[in-house]
Amino acid sequence: MAITFHIPGALREFTGGRGRVEINDSPATVGDALLALWILYPGIRDRVATEQGLVREHINIFVGEENIRYTGGLATPVPSGAEISIVPAVSGG
């Protein structure tokens, strides 16, 4: 079953305006799912991750309602049909 990414407004210029992106694949982990997302939409890659491949400090990724920071990071398993949200954190000045 496809998984779905929810794309925030700031990144939609890289998804042709799409707020939802379905990936017809069964990635095992969030890392694999992100890899699949940025093969489709390469511009998202550097916005979400640093050049070292880590999720940026002030960006959060949720699988369902769980922030992956507390569920194993990029190794967090992705259940079939999962909804993954990319959300900027509450921060800044």
Q: Residue 49 carries which side chain, given as an amino acid letter?
A: A
Tokens standing for residue 33: 């799912």
Of the residues 1, 2, 10, 19, which one makes contact with another protein according to CB under 8 A: 10
Cβ count within 10 A of residue 25: 11
CB of 60 to another protein, least distance (A): 10
The dihedrals phi and psi of 82, each to the nearest 5 degrees, come to: -65, 155
Tokens standing for residue 77: 């398993």
Determine if 9 is a binding residue for another protein (CB under 8 A). no
User: Considering CB under 8 A, how many residues would be counted as binding another protein?
Assistant: 31
Alpha-carbon torsion, ordered 81, 28, 8, 21, to 10 deg: -50
Determine if 25 is a binding residue for another protein (CB under 8 A). no
- For another protein, which is the closer residue by CB, 22 or 46? 46
Q: Which residues bind another protein (CB under 8 A)?
A: 10-11, 13-14, 28, 31-32, 35, 38-39, 42-43, 45-48, 50-54, 56-59, 74, 88-89, 91-93
